[in-house]
Amino acid sequence: MIPIINNFAAGLAVLALIFGIIGLLRTRRGRSHYRGLAISSIIVSVVAMGGVLASQAFYSNAIDAVSESVDDAATEMDDDLDRMAGEATEEILKEDLTVAIGSFEAKTDDSGIVETSLPVKLTNKADQAHSYDVSVEAVNSSGDRIEEDWASTNTLKPGQSQSFDLFVLAMEENLEELESADFLVFEVSQY
């Protein structure tokens, strides 16, 4: 509403300037005796135009600031969504999370059941608390995936760690491959 009033005031200021100049020209030709009124009309219209321009600049700066804030918020939200979707895995591992992967173990108990585990320790090195979902994959020497398992944390405070045993339900037909597999972080999501 204010910009509309501001534009209306600009129109009135232009009209006042035009009529002030016409009035001043009439006083020079001797048709009118209101020279002071014509000059004051010109002065008031110039001051009004200055006020209009100043307020337009203010509105323009305010709109630019809001637009910039919205753009910044959208960029931050995109970054957060990438982190949640696992699309910023390398960045998260570089800046916020340490994943320590131990050695895969397969033991046969007294009843002949094979117990498997891969110790994994997650440490939050960010400056604020986060929850993480970490996908670890076992790959053979050809780079083919054998199996995949997940570690999910609830909120880890800065510097806090949580340990997991992954691949505890390894498929029996994959045991031989798993014992010689490389275990790699495949994807990390941060919340």
Which region among 101-110, 133-142, 149-158 has the lowest average model confidence (pLDDT)? 101-110
Average pLDDT (104-113) is 85
According to the model, what pLDDT value does residue 151 have?
97
When pLDDT is cut at 50, 70 and 90, the band that residue 79 belongs to is confident
According to the model, what pLDDT value does residue 170 have?
83
According to the model, what pLDDT value does residue 155 have?
94
According to the model, what pLDDT value does residue 190 have?
97
Position 95 pLDDT exceeds 80: yes
Tens-place pLDDT, residues 161-179? 999 999 998 888 889 999 9
According to the model, what pLDDT value does residue 76 have?
87
How far, rounded to the nearest angstrom, does the alpha carbon of residue 19 sit from its chain's CA centroid? Answer: 54
Q: Residue 15, exposed/middle/buried by CB under 10 A (0-12, 13-18, 19+)? A: exposed
Q: Can you give the pTM of this predicted structure?
A: 0.65
According to the model, what pLDDT value does residue 1 have?
61
User: Measuring CA to CA, which residue among 57, 21, 18, 14 is closest to residue 38?
Assistant: 21
According to the model, what pLDDT value does residue 188 have?
97
Average pLDDT (68-79) is 89
User: Measuring CA to CA, which residue among 153, 170, 175, 150 is closest to residue 162?
Assistant: 153
When pLDDT is cut at 50, 70 and 90, the band that residue 116 belongs to is very high
